[in-house]
């Protein structure tokens, strides 16, 4: 080997060592950076004319286990969805109260039953009658507040859907641009690893909103598709639409056309509003708005309907005619079985009883339509009202025979059961996500290994430098001859 060849080989070795040191230092400095894929430098021996010509520096390889990454994203989508459901059920529980809680609807009804017993024990007491009217109004107000809060939660969910759709569209456009940048980098011979890191982070954000799968395309580009088969991006990003409703009332649903679903090119993608985009936080938010909160509203309306119908029964209050409003009303009118939606937001104390609007609490004892005051010691009507409240009955929406307090308690228990069920799903999803995340991290940067590589790079650099120093000594000796 000639002296010039030796010098050339050593210089190529020093260049390779310098480039490897750059790659190793990048790995170490980004060992805790989300989305960073460990790099390695590809080296090969250079041969010219069948003779070794040092080392040839190849491309930089970015190491990512695509299988674990894909599974971790799907697990993250599931975890985010169940987290959304649990958060909502916690807020529903706060709105309606827990069975046995002092602020629950069932507790308010139990307090009403106690007030009826007190009033029946001394029907001549204006204090007891006023306390009874107060408890009746308290139950109605509690139902009004709960119904209002449920619709506020639906408005919150609707706003969240709008925000998530905007974020989804923005992220898809970012992936589209990064695809182009990565192709340009590959075609120009530049290292696209940094762009690949950024694209992975953006896709991670998308996967929280909707579950995604990557499909490789030429030039380093990828397509994105949901596991159910909805294409999000393939060359060009799809643009999804959504119309937010700032005010939502109980009779507004996606089926009635009162609420928006996801659209593509102005057309709904599915009758349920979400279709093949379900599975992440976006799908869970649709479930919250159109299922869980609607079910909660229906439960409140069933309780309100049960209360009003028992109190407007002429068999309980003989002064009432069929179809006349009773002690509790539908915004002042009698209950109509065909108009139950949103009833809990309209239930109110009859103005004939409400002392704040000129009503007389004595009508609780004498009858709503009594033409003259009855005997002050007559407790028969109060006892009939108390019996009607505690009697097991079925309703137009529930064939199970229950008392009003029992129906309210069962409703609260059902909401609590759902919350516990979603909590259990969160625990499972979180354990799965954590396991996959740990496996993904294990395949990432190992700082111990990188430091060992750095020592090897240092040794290689020193060895090549020694060769150059030796060549210099030989050249100097030749010049001295």
**Does residue 451 share a domain with residue 370?**
no
DSSP labels, 142-173 = HHHHHHHHHHHHHHHHHHHHHHHHHHHHHHHH
Average pLDDT over every residue of 79-96: 94
Q: Please check whether residue 30 lies inside any domain of the structure.
A: yes
**Does residue 415 share a domain with residue 321?**
yes
**Does residue 404 share a domain with residue 349?**
yes
| 367 φψ region: left (φ > 0), alpha (ψ -120 to 50), beta (else) | left
Which residue, 151, 272, 140, 277, is CA-closest to 206? Answer: 277
Number of domains in the chain: 2
Q: Please check whether residue 456 lies inside any domain of the structure.
A: yes
Share of the chain above pLDDT 70, in %: 99
Question: What pLDDT score does 301 carry?
Answer: 95
Q: What is the pLDDT of residues 16-34, one digit of tens each?
A: 888 888 888 887 887 787 8
pLDDT tier at 443 (50, 70, 90 boundaries)?
A: confident
Q: Please check whether residue 429 lies inside any domain of the structure.
A: yes
Phi, psi of 191 (to 5 degrees): -80, 115
Cβ pair 60, 23 in contact under 8 A: yes
Question: What pLDDT score does 1 carry?
Answer: 55
**Does residue 167 share a domain with residue 26?**
no
Question: What pLDDT score does 173 carry?
Answer: 96
Question: What pLDDT score does 306 carry?
Answer: 94
**Does residue 463 share a domain with residue 384?**
no
Q: Please check whether residue 438 lies inside any domain of the structure.
A: no
**Does residue 466 share a domain with residue 335?**
no
**Does residue 335 share a domain with residue 207?**
yes
**Does residue 134 share a domain with residue 249?**
yes
pLDDT tier at 139 (50, 70, 90 boundaries)?
A: very high
pLDDT tier at 11 (50, 70, 90 boundaries)?
A: confident
Given a cut of 70, whether residue 368 has pLDDT beyond it is: yes
pLDDT tier at 49 (50, 70, 90 boundaries)?
A: low
Q: Please check whether residue 106 lies inside any domain of the structure.
A: yes
**Does residue 236 share a domain with residue 298?**
yes
**Does residue 57 share a domain with residue 78?**
no
Question: What pLDDT score does 50 carry?
Answer: 64
Q: What's the CA gap between 240 and 209, in Å, rounded?
A: 13
Write out the residue range of the structural domain in which residue 198 sits: 70-433
Question: What pLDDT score does 462 carry?
Answer: 85
**Does residue 451 share a domain with residue 400?**
no
Q: What is the pLDDT of residues 461-475, one digit of tens each?
A: 888 888 888 877 888
pLDDT tier at 347 (50, 70, 90 boundaries)?
A: very high
Q: Please check whether residue 14 lies inside any domain of the structure.
A: yes
Least confident stretch, 51-65, 87-101, 164-178, 404-418: 51-65
Average pLDDT over every residue of 147-162: 96
Which residue, 15, 61, 25, is CA-closest to 41? Answer: 61
Average pLDDT over every residue of 348-376: 90
Q: What's the CA gap between 314 and 362, in Å, rounded?
A: 18
Q: Could you give the C-alpha distances from 409 to 103, 106, 287, in angstroms and in order?
A: 12, 5, 24
Better-predicted residue by pLDDT, 331 or 43: 331
Question: What pLDDT score does 78 carry?
Answer: 94
**Does residue 473 share a domain with residue 345?**
no
Q: Please check whether residue 323 lies inside any domain of the structure.
A: yes
Question: What pLDDT score does 151 carry?
Answer: 96
Neighbouring residues of 207: CB distance < 8 A, sequence distance ≥ 6: 73, 74, 76, 77, 280
Average pLDDT over every residue of 281-293: 95
Q: Please check whether residue 338 lies inside any domain of the structure.
A: yes
Given a cut of 70, whether residue 51 has pLDDT beyond it is: no
């Amino acid at each position: 080997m000639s002296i010039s060849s030796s010098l050339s080989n050593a210089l190529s070795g020093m260049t390779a060592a310098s480039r490897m040191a750059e790659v190793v230092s990048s790995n170490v400095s980004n060992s805790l950076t989300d989305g960073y894929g460990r790099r390695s430098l590809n080296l090969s021996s250079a041969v010219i004319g069948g003779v070794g010509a040092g080392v040839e520096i190849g491309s930089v390889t970015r190491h990512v286990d695509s299988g674990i990454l894909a599974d971790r994203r799907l697990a993250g989508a599931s975890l985010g969805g169940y987290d959304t459901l649990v958060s909502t059920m916690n807020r529903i529980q706060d709105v309606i109260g827990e069975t046995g809680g002092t602020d629950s609807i069932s507790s308010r009804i139990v307090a009403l039953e106690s007030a009826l017993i007190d009033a029946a024990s001394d029907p001549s007491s204006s204090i007891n009658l006023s306390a009874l009217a107060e408890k009746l109004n308290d139950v109605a107000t509690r139902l009004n507040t709960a119904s209002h809060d449920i619709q506020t939660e639906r408005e919150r969910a609707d706003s969240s859907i709008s925000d998530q759709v905007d974020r989804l569209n923005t992220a898809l456009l970012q992936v589209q641009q990064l695809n182009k940048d990565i192709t340009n980098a590959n075609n120009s011979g530049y290292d696209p690893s940094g762009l690949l890191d950024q694209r992975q982070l953006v896709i991670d954000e998308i996967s929280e909103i909707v579950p995604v799968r990557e499909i490789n395309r030429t030039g380093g580009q990828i397509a994105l598709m949901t596991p159910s088969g909805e294409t999000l991006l393939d060359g060009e990003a799809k643009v999804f639409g959504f119309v937010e409703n700032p005010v939502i009332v109980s009779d507004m649903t996606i089926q009635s056309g009162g609420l928006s679903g996801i659209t593509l090119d102005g057309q709904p993608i599915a009758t349920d509003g979400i279709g093949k985009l379900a599975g992440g936080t976006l799908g869970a938010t649709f479930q919250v708005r159109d299922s869980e909160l609607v079910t909660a509203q229906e439960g409140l309306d069933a309780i309100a309907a049960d209360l009003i119908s028992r109190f407007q029964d002429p068999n309980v209050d003989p002064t009432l005619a069929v179809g006349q409003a009773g002690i509790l009303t539908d915004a002042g009118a009698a209950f109509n079985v065909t108009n139950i939606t949103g009833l809990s937001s309209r239930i109110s104390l009859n103005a004939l009883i409400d002392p704040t609007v000129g009503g007389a609490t004595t009508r609780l004892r004498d009858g709503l339509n009594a033409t003259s005051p009855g005997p002050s010691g007559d407790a028969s009507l109060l006892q009939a009202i108390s019996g009607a409240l505690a009697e097991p009955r079925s309703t137009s929406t529930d064939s199970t025979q229950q008392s009003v307090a029992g129906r309210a308690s069962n409703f609260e228990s059902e909401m609590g059961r759902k919350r516990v069920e979603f909590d259990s799903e969160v625990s499972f999803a979180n354990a799965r996500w954590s396991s996959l995340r740990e496996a993904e991290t294990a395949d990432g940067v190992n700082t111990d290994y990188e430091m060992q590589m750095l020592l090897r790079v240092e040794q290689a650099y020193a060895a090549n430098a020694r060769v150059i120093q030796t060549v210099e000594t030989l050249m100097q000796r030749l010049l001295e001859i």
